[in-house]
């Protein structure tokens, strides 16, 4: 199984890892609707059996529940234990309202809570989830560096940071990785962020490489209309006009290419994200063991240069929605 070194770390990770956002379940602001915990554990086991060697979660996913499910699934898994990545800087109140916080005391409390839920002594990669509040980035990043020195976390990274914010953090302590959204329907990072991280030696863990389900081959206009009322995608601009029509055209192209090369649309979408040397790996959300079968080929499958050029030309011709 091919592995790749993540940034300045000693972590050798597979090109695809398990994304645990959706398994946080319902009852919070960015839910993917109801999720059965036993099904989640079986999905995680199936992904690890397929060769994936890391899981990415966050404290805020399900307001702690995703980490609990991940911790239980890893504890009950009989094979090699995966690397565990999680995030801080999103806390919540007693009435389940999410708050943006980068203060040192809060991050330390979040870290201890994540360690308990994940049932580990150290977190392999600890990331600032969002650079908010912007004025507290230095305090937050400095706290992650302290946690690393104390052995609570092994490596530290950022998520959703722009270039200027990464430079501010890097002046305090080295950044192991950046976690940005990247897919054929979200290409914002190509202009400035990817060149910067590549030159700085920062690893990239691309999230939502299948456009939050848009590029799986299963999404249709009717399915979007039928999404559960508590599925966060109902409020996402990427699932509303004018982007919806644009993104469904991309989804059809991905499916057509998949048929031609004998791969699922998801595998094509992930392989396109992995075509660039700057991208270390892709985070792929799974909710059922059956979904693993639709993306497992992306661990090894790579698009040839001709197909990459075809897809890039299609995207350029289609244009981008601002």
Catalytic residues: 61
Q: Which residues contact 248 (CB under 8 A, 6 or more apart)?
A: 214, 219, 220, 221
Continuous segment of H or E residues that includes residue 123? strand 123-128
Distance CA 177, CA 17 (A): 14
**CA-based R_g, the chain, Å:** 19
CB burial of residue 159 (10 Å; 0-12, 13-18, 19+): buried
CB burial of residue 2 (10 Å; 0-12, 13-18, 19+): exposed
Q: What is the dihedral of CA 60, 62, 67, 72, to 10 degrees?
A: 170
CB burial of residue 96 (10 Å; 0-12, 13-18, 19+): exposed
* Torsions phi, psi for 219 (to 5 deg): -85, 130
Which residues are bridge partners to 231 per DSSP? Answer: 32
Phi-psi region of 235 (alpha: psi -120 to 50; beta: other; left: phi over 0): alpha
CB burial of residue 145 (10 Å; 0-12, 13-18, 19+): middle
Note whether 176 and 9 are within 8 A (CB): yes
The DSSP secondary structure of 206-267, one letter per residue, reads EE-TTTTTTTSS---HHHHHTS-TTBGGGG-GGGSTTHHHHHHHHHHHHHHHHHHHT--HHH
């Amino acid at each position: 199984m091919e592995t790749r070194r993540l940034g300045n770390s000693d972590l050798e990770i597979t090109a695809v890892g398990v994304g645990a956002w959706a398994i946080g379940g319902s009852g919070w602001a960015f839910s993917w609707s109801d999720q059965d915990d036993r099904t989640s554990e079986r999905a995680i086991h199936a992904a690890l059996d397929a060769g994936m060697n890391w899981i990415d979660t966050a404290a805020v996913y399900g307001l702690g529940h995703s980490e609990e499910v991940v911790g239980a699934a890893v504890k009950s898994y009989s094979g090699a234990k995966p690397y565990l990545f999680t995030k801080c800087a999103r806390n919540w109140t007693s009435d389940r309202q999410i708050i943006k916080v980068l203060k040192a005391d809060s991050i330390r409390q979040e870290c201890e809570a994540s360690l308990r839920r994940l049932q580990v002594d150290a977190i392999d990669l600890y990331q600032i989830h969002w650079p908010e509040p912007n004025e507290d980035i230095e305090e937050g990043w400095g706290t992650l560096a302290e946690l690393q020195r104390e052995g609570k976390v092994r490596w530290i990274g950022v998520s959703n940071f722009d270039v200027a914010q990464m430079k501010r953090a890097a002046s305090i302590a080295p950044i192991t990785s950046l976690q940005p959204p990247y897919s054929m329907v979200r290409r914002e990072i190509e202009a400035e962020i990817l060149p910067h991280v590549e030159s700085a030696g920062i690893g990239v863990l691309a999230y939502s490489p299948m456009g939050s389900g848009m590029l799986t081959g299963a999404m249709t206009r009717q399915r979007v209309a039928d999404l559960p009322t508590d599925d966060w995608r109902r409020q996402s601009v990427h699932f509303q006009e004018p982007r919806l029509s644009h993104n469904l055209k991309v989804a059809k192209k991905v499916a057509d290419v998949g048929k031609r090369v004998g791969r699922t649309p998801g595998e094509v979408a992930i392989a396109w994200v992995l075509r660039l040397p700057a991208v270390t790996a892709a985070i792929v959300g799974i909710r059922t063991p059956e979904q693993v079968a639709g993306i497992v080929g992306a661990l090894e499958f790579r698009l040839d240069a001709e197909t990459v050029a075809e897809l890039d030309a299609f995207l350029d011709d289609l244009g981008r929605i601002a």
